[in-house]
């Protein structure tokens, strides 16, 4: 991974690809790479869909190696949805393929000329760009079917659906999974619109001629990776809970806690949550023909939290919907039918939409009276409207904030224009701090890595002390920024939280891959560096403390059943970036 | 971690006088979807959660400390099972360790518990702490995820109180494989046919019944594991 591929879409005569050494970006991967490039090369005050914005696609530092669960790929740009810097990442096969071919980043830049749409093909022979107007307005699953006879099923495809082509603020970038389905998505922040603005429909990556990346210290790497795998397999969450039930195992728990946002964040508990549970979802997949409750989104994943969801007759419906998807389209919209939610998940992937943003937008539309809460067929029709770009679909495709504005509503559960995920911040206030202060807009993964107590980011935190939500959130955001750079799935965090030897094995795996002697302090420094760049970018883009806030109604309207409000003081929110 | 201790004697033979549906089933874990929906258990006196789990139900030791990582009492996250009190009408939920930041936040006495301090049991006022309760009462229990799978046999061995319509709906939704493990079914001592199509619950009253598993099969299986 020592080179960068730049595709200038505004070059005379059509898009032109050039390769260059990694240069000053050496040592960066994933989010570290995307943030560094956007920070250095994109004017913060530019329009996200203008020629000055760039789309950066970067595999993690460990992607393409034999390290377990290291297939995350980051995409970065200035976000059309939030106006902030954006990093969005996904699993799938893309990161491994790009990394094995030696690419630390692919950067789409320049001003699109004309209306032609292009396909990029990358293999061990180089890069080709082809006009691909026959792919115009194809949704993702149809696109993959059309590419299959040309490129086979062994390649990886990074693509946009119709939403990205229409440059909707809620549009994702899809990555194919091991079954060559477009199921893994860099969903958040409208990154698909930026790819669409560059006129690139898809990037086909054929790494069949490339080999797994070799570590600098192979024997030591093998040993530390073995310990890392043992740690993941032996942990209750990564070794048992996630493979058995997937992330949707959280539905019952959040509902029990009264923190399950229901009916557009009006209530904290959904009376039909049991019909949406991970336990039921897993049973459906186990008992139905073709269903698979335990599945990896990329080769070499030990955790296998993904799955394949089929209908009662054994027909493929979608990949196993994640917790956030089941919530956003489920309890948030008053829909308690897992099959309907799988259909919505499929359509989100098909048209290229973020499932969180889409579900929250539908919840807003339901409260506005466009359709009734609980109307599954109506929700499906709304997603079709988005995918087809009808006038109503254009509004909904612009996200929850825009939809609420169009219907004259205060209840838009967003921060910096991005929809809140599946945890009500009134019940779990520490999450609310992260939602409010993240550089990315409301984002549950910004403070996801639970390694803070091991890394001692920003000093030791006394868990018995009251208050200090900002301190915890800061540490988590720093730790996450660092982990997002490695390519390791965020879920490894649970094993390394509880098992110091597994954390040590992960760090040593990175060290032996690159011939480094990195310590926990170096990891912290990397996370801080990334966050500081992102914060500075946002400030130059016009964001200040007033934007690091939850909508006021979360502080005013108590949430049942606990009747709690979000009451973390502004002063504490403003202290998150004191490092 | 699977719960492997030998099942104790049911702590309540007479479940508040309710009719009893007794099953012999080889795979109690296949009842876990019923257990996540919620059921009722009798409790003879106000007691701590640890007393309820260990002294009454029989969930003790390593399983309690290592596997019961997420506990809610009336929706509040529990950190200390000696402090949490089981009172009339309360709602108890037991779960394994959960993924995600929120999962870690909800964990018993976890490092991130401050992030949910507004809904922690320790931060909420214990109402009626001085109430004396001599008569037995019932509580609602929900068993989630791996805990439902692990403890299904134990709770069903004691007997759980569920509504007849919920029970009928549960049996109706079971796949064929469930009935292959069903050896016998008796209601108030009268045998019922075990085929799915033949299950006739018209004999059940409209209200609650006790579902209990005869655990001879399970105890034999557990003894062979030990």
pLDDT (average), residues A456-473:
54
pLDDT per residue over A15-60, tens digit each? 999 999 999 999 999 999 999 999 999 999 999 999 999 999 999 9
Interchain CB distance below 8 Å, B99 and A249: yes
Architecture of domain A429-574 in CATH?
Answer: Orthogonal Bundle (1.10)
- The candidate with the shortest Cα–Cα distance to A279, out of B59, B153, B169, B34, is B34
d(CA A270, CA A284): 21
Distance (Å) of CA A90 to CA A182, A232, B141:
11, 20, 37
The CATH architecture to which A3-205 belongs is: 4-Layer Sandwich (3.60)
| Per-residue model confidence as pLDDT tens digits over A292-336 | 888 888 888 888 888 999 999 999 999 999 999 999 999 999 999
Query: Which CATH architecture fits A246-419?
Result: Orthogonal Bundle (1.10)
Select the residue from A356, A428, A469 to test the B interface by mutation, using most B Cβ atoms within 10 A.
A428
B150 & B100 share domain: no
Q: Say whether A494 and B95 touch across the interface (CB within 8 A).
A: no
Is there a single domain that holds both residue B123 and residue B69? yes
Q: Which among A293, A552, A342 is positioned nearest to A436, based on CA atoms?
A: A552
What is the band of B197 on the pLDDT scale with cuts at 50, 70, 90?
A: low
CA distance A153 to A16: 26
Domain boundary among B135, B151, B182: B135
Listed by number, the residues of chain A in 44-73 with a beta carbon closer than 8 Å to a beta carbon of chain B are none
Alpha-helical (H) ranges within A235-316 are 242-245, 250-256, 278-287
Q: Which residues does chain A have within 8 Å of residue B111's beta carbon, measured at their own beta carbons?
A: 450, 452-453, 461, 463, 497
* Residue from A244, A245, A257 to probe the interface with B (highest B Cβ count within 10 Å): A257
- As annotated, the residues of chain A forming the CATH 3.60.9.10 domain(s) are 3-205
Q: Which of A533, A504, A496, A17 lies closest to A223 in space, CA to CA?
A: A504
| Number of A–B residue contacts, CB under 8 Å | 153
A475-490: average pLDDT = 83
The residue-averaged pLDDT of A266-291 equals 94
CB contact under 8 A, A256 and B142: yes
In this structure, the number of other CB atoms found within 10 A of the CB of residue B51 comes to 17
Alpha helices in A118-190 (DSSP H): 140-151, 162-165
DSSP string, A494-541: HHHHH-HHHHHHHHHHHHHHHT----HHHHHHHHHHHHHHHHHHHHHT
Q: What is the pLDDT of residue A524?
A: 81
Residue of A335, A192, A203 whose CA lies nearest to A262? A335
The answer to whether residues B53 and B124 belong to one domain is: yes
Q: Which residues of B touch A323 (CB under 8 A)?
A: 100
Specify the number of domains making up chain B. Answer: 2
Confidence of residue B74 (pLDDT cuts 50, 70, 90): very high
Domain end position, chosen among B135, B156, B174: B135
Give the whole-angstrom CA distance, residue A83 versus residue A401.
Answer: 13
- Of A555, A559, A562, whose CA–CA distance to A266 is shortest? A559
For residue B75, the chain A residues in CB contact (below 8 A) are: 256-258, 269, 561-562
A51, A194 Cβ separation under 8 angstroms: no
Residue range(s) of every CATH 1.10.599.10 domain in chain A: 429-574
Residues B49 and B37 reside in one and the same domain: no
Say how far apart CA A37 and CA A25 lie, in whole Å: 8
Map tokens 């970067």 to a residue. Answer: A58
Distance between CA atoms of residues B94 and B188, nearest Å:
30
The residue-averaged pLDDT of A458-473 equals 56
Shared domain for B38 and B148, answered yes or no, is yes
- Host domain of residue B148: 18-42+143-226
Least confident span in A237-241, A504-508, B178-182:
A237-241
ipTM: 0.88
- The better pLDDT of the pair B176, A268 is held by A268
pLDDT in tens, A137-193: 999 999 999 999 999 999 999 999 999 999 999 999 999 999 999 999 999 999 999
Task: Tell me how far CA of residue A510 lies from CA of A270, A378, A480, A496, A513, in angstroms.
Answer: 43, 48, 16, 14, 5
Which residues, 6 or more positions from A413, have their beta carbon under 8 angstroms from its beta carbon? A261, A264, A265, A360, A363, A364, A400, A419, A420, A442, A551
The answer to whether the Cβ–Cβ distance between B69 and A236 falls below 8 Å is yes
Residue A307, H or E segment = strand A306-310
Residues of B with CB under 8 A from a CB of A: 1, 32-33, 36-37, 66-67, 69-70, 72, 75-77, 93, 95-106, 110-119, 142, 144-146, 148, 175, 177
The sign of the torsion formed by the CA atoms of B116, B117, B123, B124 equals negative
Residue B12 lies in a domain: no
Q: Which helix (H) or strand (E) holds B164?
A: helix B164-172
């Amino acid at each position: 991974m020592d080179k960068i591929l730049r595709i200038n879409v505004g070059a005379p005569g059509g898009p032109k690809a050039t390769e260059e050494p990694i240069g000053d970006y050496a040592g960066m991967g994933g989010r570290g790479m995307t943030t560094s490039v956007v920070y250095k090369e994109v004017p913060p005050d530019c329009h996200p869909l203008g020629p000055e914005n760039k789309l950066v696609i970067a595999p993690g530092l460990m992607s393409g190696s034999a390290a377990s669960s290291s297939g995350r790929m980051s995409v970065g740009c200035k976000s059309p949805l939030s106006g902030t810097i954006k990093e969005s990442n996904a699993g799938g096969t893309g990161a491994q393929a790009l990394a094995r071919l030696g690419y630390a980043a692919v950067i789409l830049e320049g001003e699109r000329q004309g209306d032609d749409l292009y396909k990029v093909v990358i293999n061990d022979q180089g890069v080709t760009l082809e006009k691909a107007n026959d792919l115009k307005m194809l949704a993702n699953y149809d696109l993959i079917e059309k590419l299959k006879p040309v490129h086979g099923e062994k390649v990886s495809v990074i693509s946009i659906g119709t939403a990205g082509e229409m440059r909707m603020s809620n549009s994702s970038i899809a990555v194919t999974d091991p079954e060559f389905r477009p199921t893994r998505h860099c969903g958040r922040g409208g990154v698909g619109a930026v790819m669409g603005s560059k006129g690139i429909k898809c990037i086909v990556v054929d790494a069949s001629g490339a080999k797994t990346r070799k570590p600098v210290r192979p024997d030591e790497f093998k040993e530390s990776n073995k310990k890392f795998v043992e740690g993941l397999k032996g942990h209750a969450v990564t070794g048992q809970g996630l493979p058995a039930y997937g992330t949707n195992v959280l539905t019952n728990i959040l509902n029990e806690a009264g923190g399950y946002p229901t009916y557009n964040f009006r209530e904290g508990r959904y009376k039909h949550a049991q019909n949406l549970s991970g336990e039921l979802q897993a049973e459906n997949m186990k008992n139905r023909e073709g269903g698979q409750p335990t599945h990896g989104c990329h080769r070499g994943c030990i955790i296998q939290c993904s799955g394949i969801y089929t209908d009662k007759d054994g027909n493929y419906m979608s990949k196993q919907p994640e917790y956030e998807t089941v919530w956003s389209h489920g309890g948030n919209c008053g829909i308690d039918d897992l099959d309907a939610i799988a259909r919505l998940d499929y359509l989100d992937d098909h048209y290229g939409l973020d499932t969180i943003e889409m579900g929250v937008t539908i919840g807003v539309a339901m409260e506005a009276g466009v359709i009734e809460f609980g109307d599954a067929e109506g929700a499906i029709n709304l997603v079709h409207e988005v995918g087809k770009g009808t006038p109503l679909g254009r509004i909904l495709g612009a996200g929850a904030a825009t939809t609420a504005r169009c219907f004259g509503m205060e209840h838009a559960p967003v921060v910096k224009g991005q929809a809140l995920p599946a945890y009500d911040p009134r019940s779990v206030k520490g999450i609310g701090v992260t939602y409010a202060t993240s550089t990315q807009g409301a984002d549950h993964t910004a403070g996801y890595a639970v390694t803070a107590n091991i890394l001692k980011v920003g000093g030791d935190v006394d868990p018995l002390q009251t208050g200090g939500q900002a301190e915890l959130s800061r540490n988590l955001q720093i730790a996450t920024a660092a982990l997002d750079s490695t390519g390791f799935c965020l879920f490894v965090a649970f094993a390394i939280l509880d098992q110091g030897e597994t954390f040590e094995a992960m760090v040593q795996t990175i060290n032996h891959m690159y011939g480094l002697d990195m310590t926990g302090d170096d990891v912290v420094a990397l996370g801080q560096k990334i966050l500081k760049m992102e914060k500075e970018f946002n400030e130059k883009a016009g964001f200040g403390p007033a934007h690091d806030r939850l909508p006021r109604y979360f502080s005013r309207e108590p949430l049942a059943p606990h009747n709690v409000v979000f009451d973390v003081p502004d002063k504490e929110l403003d202290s998150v970036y004191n490092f | 971690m699977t719960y492997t201790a030998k099942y104790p004697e049911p702590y309540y033979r007479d479940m508040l006088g309710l009719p009893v549906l007794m099953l012999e089933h080889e795979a109690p874990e296949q009842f876990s979807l019923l257990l996540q929906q919620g059921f009722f258990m009798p409790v003879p006196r106000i007691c701590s959660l640890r007393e309820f789990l260990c002294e009454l139900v029989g969930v003790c030791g390593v399983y309690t400390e290592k596997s019961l990582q997420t506990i809610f009492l009336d929706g509040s996250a529990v950190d200390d099972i000696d402090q949490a009190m089981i009172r009339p009408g309360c709602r108890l939920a037991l779960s394994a360790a959960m993924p995600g930041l929120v999962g870690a936040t909800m964990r018993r006495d976890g490092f991130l518990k401050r992030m949910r301090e507004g809904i922690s049991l320790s931060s909420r006022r214990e109402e009626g702490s001085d109430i004396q309760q001599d008569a037995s009462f019932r509580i609602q229990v929900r068993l989630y995820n791996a805990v439902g799978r692990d403890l299904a046999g134990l709770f069903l061995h004691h007997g759980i109180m569920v509504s007849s319509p919920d029970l009928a709906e549960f049996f109706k939704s079971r796949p064929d494989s469930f009935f292959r493990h069903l050896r016998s079914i008796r209601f108030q001592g009268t045998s019922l046919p075990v085929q799915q199509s033949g299950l006739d619950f018209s004999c059940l009253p409209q209200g609650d019944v006790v579902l209990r598993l005869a655990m001879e099969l399970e105890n034999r299986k557990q003894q062979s594991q030990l």
